[in-house]
Amino acid sequence: MKFLYKILLWTIIIMAAAFGFSGYFLVNFVFETTLEREIDQALDGSNILQFAFETAALNVPTKYDMLQDIAVEQIGAKLESSGHGSGRLLRLSNEEKEVLYASEGFPGDTALLQEIGENTRIWQVIPQGDHYYIQTGIMVNALDRHLYLETMENVTRVFEERSTGFTVYRQVTLAMLALCALVLFFICSWLTKPIRRLTRATRKMADGDYGYRARQVSNDELGQLTMDFNSMANTLEGTIGELKEEVRAREDFIAAFAHELKTPLTAIIGYADVLRSRKLDEEKHFLSSNYIYTEGKRLENMAFRLLDIIVTKREQVDLQPVEAGTLFGYLEDMFAGNREQQLYTSFQEGTVYAEVNLLKSVLVNLVDNAMKASEPGGVVEVFGECQENGYMFWVRDYGVGIPAEELKKITEAFYMVDKSRSRSRNGAGLGLALCVEILRLHHSELVIESTVGEGTWISFLLPDRESIGEIL
């Protein structure tokens, strides 16, 4: 069942119960009030008849001094006919509670008569067929004699009014419920409209339309829920976009990895097959063996680089202070044997907070890439300078440069601007990807600027201890 109909149904049930109970108590209250008034009137009328009877008994001739039963009957008939009865039925009984006079139609039940005592007046409501009566009883003292006077008054009208009240109230209640149901339907439909919009938006998103948004139509809780839903949808869309990009990057990575493996493996297998199946002269044997060795080293280097990237993504580093001079001295020693390019260093003394081995790997990779991009005899420059919030490194070359459209891709694994040039120097396109991951652990990132034909400028800032604390 829809939420709209649940609200409507439960509201109607509650209203029906409220109307039913309130109507029952209202009609019953009116009935009891009216019946109580009729009882008071019946008792008052019984007192009047008592007084009239006693007064009439005083006017009885002396021959009726003992007030014979016949006199009682005559006085009762006289009271009934004279109007003192006001339409009531009468019944008179003697001391032995034997009936001396009874109006026509007075029931023969004597239960109330048996309960009449001195100085008491009692009453009861009795049904007779389709009619209801108030029966009263009182003792009459006349001429040294105790008599019992009973009256009956028809109050069927009161009960009929109660029945009519219930009938009318049921009709009014049903009409009101029908009207309220119609009004409530439109109100509930209007109130639940934002929910239906949210439901439609949810279904759209479930079907893959992550750009769909629910329209906010109010500023209440449902409006806030709509805003929160749209905010969640924005976050979800962004997350899904990131996941798609990550999946694409992984697919590209796998494709590139497979390609990088296929080329050297094919060559290694081919040259190995030649070596085992043919007798070659010394020169060809050396060339084949050298190619196998070169490609094998390239595979080894690629495997180690991949391992470094995987490990770097998973580990946390312990940042320790290291002097900048130590790092630059290490670089000079590493590339001292390079005869094709010149390494020029210039740095300002200062303290760098890093994992020293990982940072050395970053610097070596950047310098190595710069030398691979440089022509023989070219110059690679490395600078270091203290900054307000850390230590800045720059690596510059005057080589071939990187096209602007390639700058965003060069940090991806296996991506190479000039594949033939990189492979000729045992490159696999993993150095910059490794640098990015290492610098991420150091709360830093690469900044790359390049101009084709003029060279490339790469920099990164390692934050000091205070800046690292603020970042964390």
DSSP notation for 222-249: HHHHHHHHHHHHHHHHHHHHHHHHHHHH
Top-confidence residue, 383 or 86: 383
Highest-scoring range by mean pLDDT, 157-166, 297-306, 463-472: 157-166
pLDDT at 30: 92
197 versus 258: which is more confidently predicted? 197
d(CA 327, CA 360): 7
Lowest mean pLDDT among 56-70, 164-178, 278-292: 56-70
For residues 115 and 68, the model is more confident at 115
**Average pLDDT over every residue of 368-396:** 91
Q: What is the pLDDT of residue 143?
A: 63
pLDDT higher than 80, residue 197: no
CATH C-level class of 3-166: alpha beta
**What pLDDT sits at residue 426?**
45
Judged by average pLDDT, the poorest of 90-104, 149-163, 254-268 is 254-268
Predicted pLDDT at 394: 95
Q: Check residues 339 and 171 and name the one with the higher pLDDT.
A: 171
Each domain of the chain, given as residue ranges in start order, spans 3-166, 316-471
What is the structure's pLDDT at 359? Answer: 87
Minimum mean pLDDT range among 111-115, 140-144, 371-375: 140-144
Query: Contact, 94 vs 101, CB < 8 A?
Result: no
**In contact, 112 and 57? CB cutoff 8 Å:** no
What is the per-residue pLDDT for 471? 57
For residues 143 and 95, the answer to whether their CB atoms sit within 8 Å is no
Query: 307 or 265: which carries more pLDDT confidence?
Result: 265
Q: Tell me how far apart the alpha carbons of residues 305 and 289 are, in angstroms, rounded to a whole number.
A: 24
Average pLDDT over residues 160-167: 91
- Kindly indicate the confidence band of residue 390, based on its pLDDT and cuts at 50, 70 and 90: very high
pLDDT band at 304 (very low <50, low <70, confident <90, very high): low
Instruction: Give residue 383's pLDDT band: very low, low, confident or very high (50, 70, 90).
Output: very high
Q: How many CB atoms lie within 10 A of CB 308?
A: 19
Average pLDDT estimate for 265-280 = 78
Q: What is the pLDDT of residue 245?
A: 79
Q: How many residues does the chain have?
A: 472
pLDDT at residue 420, rounded to an integer: 44
Token pair belonging to 258: 């497979």
Interatomic CA distance for residues 23 and 466, integer angstroms: 77
Percent of the chain clearing pLDDT 90 (strictly above)? 18
- Answer with the residue of higher pLDDT: 133 or 266: 133
Chain segment 415-467, per-residue pLDDT in tens: 554 444 444 444 445 667 778 878 888 889 999 998 888 899 999 999 988 87
Is the entire prediction scored with pTM above 0.85?
no
Q: Which residues pair with 386 in a beta bridge?
A: 391
- pLDDT tens digits along 342-351: 999 999 999 9
Domains 3-166 and 316-471 share a fold: no
The average pLDDT across 238-251 equals 78
Which is more confident, 420 or 254? 254
Tell which residue, 354, 356, 370, 339, has the closest CA to residue 458: 370
| Residue 297: pLDDT over 80 | no
pLDDT at 313: 57
Name the percent of the chain lying above pLDDT 70.
82
Instruction: Give the number of C-alpha atoms closer than 13 A to the C-alpha of residue 227, restricted to the C-beta side.
Output: 8
Residue 327, pLDDT score: 92
The residues with which 215 forms a beta bridge, in sequence order, are none
Cα distance between residue 167 and residue 422, in whole Å: 99
pLDDT at 421: 43
Identity at 306, one-letter amino acid code: L
Q: How far apart are CA 256 and CA 30, in angstroms?
A: 93
In this model, does residue 312 exceed pLDDT 70?
A: no
Residue-averaged pLDDT of the chain: 80
Give the right CATH number for 316-471 from 3.20.20.370, 3.30.1960.10, 3.30.565.10, 3.30.360.10. 3.30.565.10
d(C-alpha 294, C-alpha 16), whole Å: 91
